[in-house]
Structure 1
Amino acid sequence: MTEQHELPRFLGDLIAHNAARLTEADARLLDVLVRDPIRGAMENGKEVSSRAGVHPASAVRLARRLGFSGYPEFRTFLQANLVDSVAGDFENPAARMAARLVRAEEGDVLSSILDSEIAALQHVRTTVRDADIRAFSTALMKARKIFVLGRSHAATLSALIALRLRRSGYDSIDLAGQMHQLPEVLTGMTDQDVLWLLTFRKPAQVVLDVRAIAAETATTTLALSDLTGTRIDPAPDHQISVSRGGVGQSQSLVVPMTIANAVILDLAAIDGGNSLRALDTFKSFRAGLPTRLGR
């Protein structure tokens, strides 16, 4: 194969560079690959040839014509091309899933996920300060009422945070579970309250709208986001932005959930025992409920 640095970086450039040498079969194969690059990066040469309606050996001949030793090496190039292009396409769930599969060797999906989660968590250690955690917990401790909002995947974490805060004795509301009556819930928001936003990738419009309401009422606003979800205007009073992993990595809720757990634990450390007393009270109350209600 030609040295990698001599090859065009992307498939479109590679096609243009070799246009004069391509046959009709090559054109049909490339059309299949270009029309569905995600599927093309996952299939072998025989599968791509079948979809293009050409001889199975045609994919191998195309790969060699383009400067690769065979189709497996061309497929590796297609996969790298996919991962590079997905960097700007986080809103495409199919592309994100395909990039993760590309990163994982066959039969090694679990290890790949574990490795990406561990790497992302290690990154948190060097990018999030104890002072950032304390700024969140201090604001929560002083709040009359806490509004928590996350959409899409973040809605799951929103519900968990609100639940844990309620059990710790704080008046918290999961706005994601109140979408049908947001005006009624938000009408009482004041400058004594806290709004905790969770936003990953592109902020949902409702997140921006609620943030605007909080700004009008001088409600202290916290935001926990990944590095691509930072475009919140007006800017929150306190924000923790952290990577959930790179392109092709799992980018799950493990990182933001870990940070949320740290905030709630720190809150228990500074609120004079209020959280611990509330948890004991809740435990006793639940133990006295009928079995059907206590579980």
Structure 2
Amino acid sequence: MDQQENVPESFADLISRHSARLTDADARLLDVLIQDPIRGAMENGKDVSFRAGVHPASAVRLARRLGFKGYPEFRSFLQANLLEGGGDFESSAARMVARLVKAEEGGLLGSVVDGEIAALNAVRKTVSDADIRSFSERLRDGRRILLFGRGHASALSALVTLRLVRSGYDAINVAGQVDQLPELLWSLSKEDVLWLFCFRRVAPLIQEVRRIAAERKATTLVLTDLHAARIDPAPDRHIAVSRGEPGQSQSLVVPMTIANAVILDLAAIDDGRSIRALRELRSFRAETRLKID
């Protein structure tokens, strides 16, 4: 089958085009595939036939009736639709299956590494040193820094908070103190900095935190991926960057790299504050008997 010219844009179009030729067994197979398209894109024809309760060869006959040479080619079509399906990637299960599909040819570890490298290389074209400096200057000048992220972003906010504290800054990981959120936000002032981390979507709680920060005139910095790029009201400084294409790992490597660059640049412009704090912390650790495993 000529994939460029003859394959319809969607699975629904494909079924509609050949509906007059489909048998009862075909209908049972299609029902199984439609009910769970993620699983269907990963299984072979024999497995799909078994779940549909039809003869093992039925999946092959269905594929040929739909215009494919055999079931492997039909399965490749299903996988391509999954990878290009857009909305399906709001499902974490669909994103994982898409990564497994991409990993089949080059190996799992290799596909993850390749995806991370591609995403990091894209950062060079979308984030500039001036963007990094716009964050680090405001962190340097803030009285206090509050960091907040939900879901996977909470792990990043915790790590960045730790690095800022070690660099001598009064930083608080709000994600670890949600029960004190009203008190922390109530104490915000125009001298403070709020750093938000958002991936895939902006949670209503993040939007409300941003709204309160705007009312209290605190400087707001936001680091998001492209899916969560819309923040209202608009933050004072915003870096939005892709964490990878559909089927790639969508990990924290890209935003963590940006955060690392911000902290490194901060050390370059804060008149030795970060360096002194790191030295003092090292001495403090050596002098005390605090042994934490």
TM-score range, shorter chain: over 0.9
Map Cα deviations across residues 172-194 of structure 1 (whole Å, 9 max, x no partner).
00010011111112221100000
Counterpart of 1:37 in structure 2 is 37
Distance of 1:214 and 1:17 partners within structure 2 = 54
Match of 1:20 in 2: 20
CA distance, structure 1, for counterparts of residue 169 and residue 65 of structure 2: 67
Secondary structure of 1:228 counterpart: helix
* Aligned residue in 2 for 1:209: 208
SS at 2:196's partner residue? strand
Q: Distance in 2 between matches of 1:209 and 1:288?
A: 44
Question: How far does residue 290 in structure 1 lie from its aligned partner after superposition?
Answer: 1.9
Check the 8 A contact 2:157/2:197 in 1, yes or no.
yes
The answer for the alignment partner of 2:163 in structure 1 is 164
Q: Select between 114-123 and 202-211 the one with higher mean Cα deviation.
A: 202-211
Within 2, Cα distance between the matches of 1:5 and 1:214? 53
Q: State the identity %.
A: 65
Contact kept in structure 1, 2:82 and 2:88, CA below 8 Å? no
Distance in 1, Cα, partners of 2:45 & 2:212: 55
Asked whether the equivalents of residues 243 and 254 of structure 2 are also in contact (C-alpha less than 8 Å), the reply is yes
- The answer for the alignment partner of 2:151 in structure 1 is 152
- Equivalent residue, structure 2, for 1:257: 256
Contact 1:2–1:67 (8 Å) recurs in 2: no
Could you give the per-residue CA deviations for residues 174-217 of structure 1, whole angstroms, max 9, x where no partner exists?
A: 01001111111222110000000100111111111110010001
Equivalent-residue separation in structure 1 for 2:285 and 2:58 (angstroms): 68
Contact 1:211 1:234 survives alignment (8 Å): yes
Q: Which runs of 5+ in 1 are unaligned?
A: none
Q: How many residues align?
A: 293
Match of 1:126 in 2: 125
The one-letter code sitting in structure 1 at the alignment partner of 2:130 is A
Displacement of 1:107 in angstroms is 7.1
Q: 2:197, 2:229 → 1: CA distance?
A: 10
Tell me the equivalent position of 2:54: 54
Residue in 2 that maps onto 1:9: 9
Name the counterpart of 1:197: 196
1:276 aligns to 2:275 (yes or no): yes
